[in-house]
Amino acid sequence: MNNAINQPQTILVLGGNSDIARAIVAELSSPALKTVVLACRDAASADTSGFANDVEIATITFDATKHALHASMIEEVAAEHGDLDVVIQAFGQLGLDVADDPVAAANLVTVNYAGAVSSGLAVAAQLRKQGHGTLVVLSSVAGVRTRASNFVYGSTKAGQDAFATGLGHSLHGSGANVMTVRPGFVRSSMTKGMQEAPFTIDVSDVAKAVANGLKKGSSVVWAPAKLRGVFALLKFAPDFVWRKLDS
């Protein structure tokens, strides 16, 4: 249960080694935080270092593509650690080279989109049962309007984003919430070596935006916030302009 100043006691991270998710956990840390559960493809690969000393760090195996196991995994975590106050859906792959490889592209969809739907529904069932809790979905501006350079990834994010906002509507009145986070280009281990885009930010900036959004009860958070306005315009930019911006 969150306390009265919106500090969670239990956080589950789906994609436990995600830089952004770990920065969010750091931002949400307080004496109230009891347990962080890191769900990774292989529990043993979870990096349990770098968290506050008095917080219990637990790990669990979570494969985004093994959809049949998602519901039982969430139930297991809740049975072991109690109510989930915040769940961060942070797994995903960039899939930079998939445009010429239909199988790899479909696999990316299985991880980024199908995995998000399956695990998102499993989390939603648990939060609904609790009557409280927030699922934080790390979407991306890449899904707001897809680009030639990463349109497969963008399309998975578009799907995930549409799923998340719709899930939020479906949970209205249940006490459970969904917060969809749309970061721009974020400096992290996932984007290392890539050319930075305008409005590039650090993981800590995303974390602050998320913490602020949770405090306010936002359903959508853009990071940085000005991307909301930028994309309100870019969404309607003519195709030739959009292609030029991507080149």
**Residues that bind another protein in the complex, under the rule CB under 8 A:** 1-7, 9, 30-32, 34, 82-83, 128-132, 173-176, 215
- Residue 175: CB minimum distance to another protein, A: 3
- Our CB check for another protein shows the closer of 5 and 68 to be 5
Copy the structure tokens of residue 103: 């199988």
Residue number with CB closer to another protein (12 or 116): 12
The values of phi and psi at residue 98, to 5°, are -90, -10
Name the burial class of residue 204, with classes exposed (0-12), middle (13-18) and buried (19+) by CB atoms within 10 angstroms of its CB: middle
For another protein, the closer CB: 132 or 145: 132
User: Which residue in 153, 163, 185, 222 is the catalytic one?
Assistant: 153
Q: How far is the CB of 131 from another protein (least distance, A)?
A: 3
Q: What is the CA radius of gyration of the chain?
A: 17
Is 113 marked active-site?
Answer: no
149-153 own/partner pairs: CB under 8 Å, 24+ apart? 149/246, 150/94, 150/95, 150/96, 151/99, 152/95, 152/98, 152/99, 152/105, 152/108, 152/109, 153/93, 153/94, 153/95, 153/96, 153/98, 153/108, 153/112
The Cα–Cα gap between 184 and 208 comes to 14
In the bound state with another protein, the residue whose beta carbon lies nearer, of 126 and 160, is: 126
Query: How near is the Cβ of 33 to another protein at its closest, in Å?
Result: 9
Structure token digits, residue 200: 């590039």
CA atoms of 235 and 247, how far apart (whole Å): 17
Residue 173 or 198 having the CB closest to another protein: 173
| Shortest reach from residue 158's CB to another protein, in Å | 30
Minimum distance between the CB of residue 90 and another protein, rounded to whole angstroms?
24
* 17 secondary structure, DSSP code: T
Hey, which residues are catalytic here? 153
